[in-house]
Amino acid sequence: MTYDVHVQALEECGRQARRVRNMLDLDDAFVDSGVKAPQGDTKADIFGELDGAAGLAAKIDAVWKSVGDEFGEGRNRLENVERALSQVATNFRNAETGSGA
């Protein structure tokens, strides 16, 4: 019976890891906000005649790429956590079945 408690806790942690992983999606970051995510490269002309506008636009694109990369890495790590928790829960179940036989 104690294995059931552990397995349930592991499964709940796995569900929470999946929930948070699904939140790390740049495409969904602006849902219900009324703001649109940037599409494509930032155009320097949005800054008017500002000196260094092209450089600023490139920096903005670099920041968005970095954020996307970080979100992707976070999603990957949370997927690994979810998979590991599932494996531990399976091992608990197998141990319980093996010990009850």
pLDDT band at 25 (very low <50, low <70, confident <90, very high): confident
Return the DSSP state at 42: P
- Cα torsion 80, 86, 92, 95: sign: negative
- Cα torsion 80, 86, 92, 94: sign: negative
Q: What amino acid occupies position 67?
A: V
User: Domain boundaries in the chain?
Assistant: 2-100
Residue 91 and residue 94: Cα distance in Å, rounded?
5
- Cα torsion 83, 87, 90, 92: sign: negative
pTM of the complete model beyond 0.85: no
pLDDT band at 13 (very low <50, low <70, confident <90, very high): very high
- pLDDT at 99 > cutoff 60: no
Can you give the pLDDT at residue 100? 45
- pLDDT at 96 > cutoff 80: no
Residue 55 and residue 23: Cα distance in Å, rounded?
31
pLDDT (tens digit, 9 = 90+) per residue, 27-85? Answer: 777 777 777 777 889 999 999 999 999 999 999 999 999 998 999 999 999 999 999 99
